[in-house]
Amino acid sequence: MEKFELTILGCNSAMPAHGRFPTSQVLNVSGELLLIDCGEGTQMRMSQYKIKRNQIRHVLISHLHGDHVYGLPGFLGSLSHLSRTAPIKVYGPPGLEEYINTCIRLSQSHIDYDIQIVEVTLTGVEQLFRTSKFTVDAFPVNHRIACMGFLIKETPRPINIRKDIIGEYQMSIAEIKSVKAGQDLVRGDKRIPNENLTLPRRRSRSYAYCADTQIAGWSKDHLHKIDLLYHEATYLDAMREQAQARGHTTALEAAELAKSLEVGKLVIGHYSSRYRSVDALVDEASSVFPNVIGGYDGMILNIDV
């Protein structure tokens, strides 16, 4: 099975603490690497966890708070030292281009490749791009500044006809194309259902990244029944009032959301530095949604269905 694999590079909020770096992740979809947010320490974790940074073609930045972008200028600069020639696309909110260009200009960094910056203003779910292997949608969430989440879905697999069926029905090229397009085979008055002619198709896998956000104030219907949901869980629920004031979510709220959306698994992160151990956060979430995972730096999650 082709990879659909998440590596967590950093899972802390605000600043490095307790062996946890600020937010950063890499998603490997069939060998194509997406970098999601780029907090301090991202490159150190890439080296530690053997992420081939020169293979990253797309960077997704949720918002411009420092714990999600302070590692980005260094990462882009290092690619030149790695003799990069291929372009890289960086998606994020308005202000991203000014931030990147200012850092490059003031540091007099020498960039030998093309950085294509795409600033995104959202009113709803919007497809950022698609490849032959996956699609990436962005959606607005509810933080103190403009912030977005990302939904990555595998492209549906092509339909494959059973080899014995082609010979059995002496199918023409036109009929083969029709069946591969999902149509039934019609022979006179007889209709042979498509599922009787083809091999079972593996369901496409899906992953959603919900960056810093309150639990209320944004649409979530598009996340229903996804395979893996990453959602911030900065505080225990005893601090819900503070979480809301700062545009964040508690572990209990994240679990309630996962349960209501009927997702396959929930992974939590973006922990406050007040928690040396995150066991209490995981326990709180597990009390509502049993299929919860406490994210940690270096965690690798294979998304299988």
Closest to 206 measured CA to CA, from 248, 251, 255, 261? 261
| Residue 147: φ, ψ to 5° | -150, 145
Q: Which tokens in the block code for residue 271?
A: 């922990």
CA distance 183 to 34: 35
CA distance 31 to 56: 10
Residue-wise DSSP of 40-92: TTHHHHHHHTT--GGGEEEEE-----HHHHTTHHHHHHHHHHTT--S-EEEEE
Query: Please, what's the largest Cα pairwise distance for the chain?
Result: 74
Q: Which tokens in the block code for residue 252?
A: 């209990």
Please say if 67 is a catalytic residue.
Answer: yes
SS3 100: helix
Q: Where are the alpha helices (DSSP H) in the chain?
A: 42-48, 66-69, 72-81, 96-106, 163-168, 173-180, 240-245, 251-261, 279-286
CA distance 61 to 215: 20
CA distance 287 to 284: 5
CA distance 186 to 191: 5
Structural contact between residues 91 and 115, judged by C-beta atoms closer than 8 angstroms: no
Structural contact between residues 61 and 68, judged by C-beta atoms closer than 8 angstroms: yes
> Which of 67, 137, 212, 227 is flagged as catalytic?
67
Query: Mind telling me the catalytic residues?
Result: 67
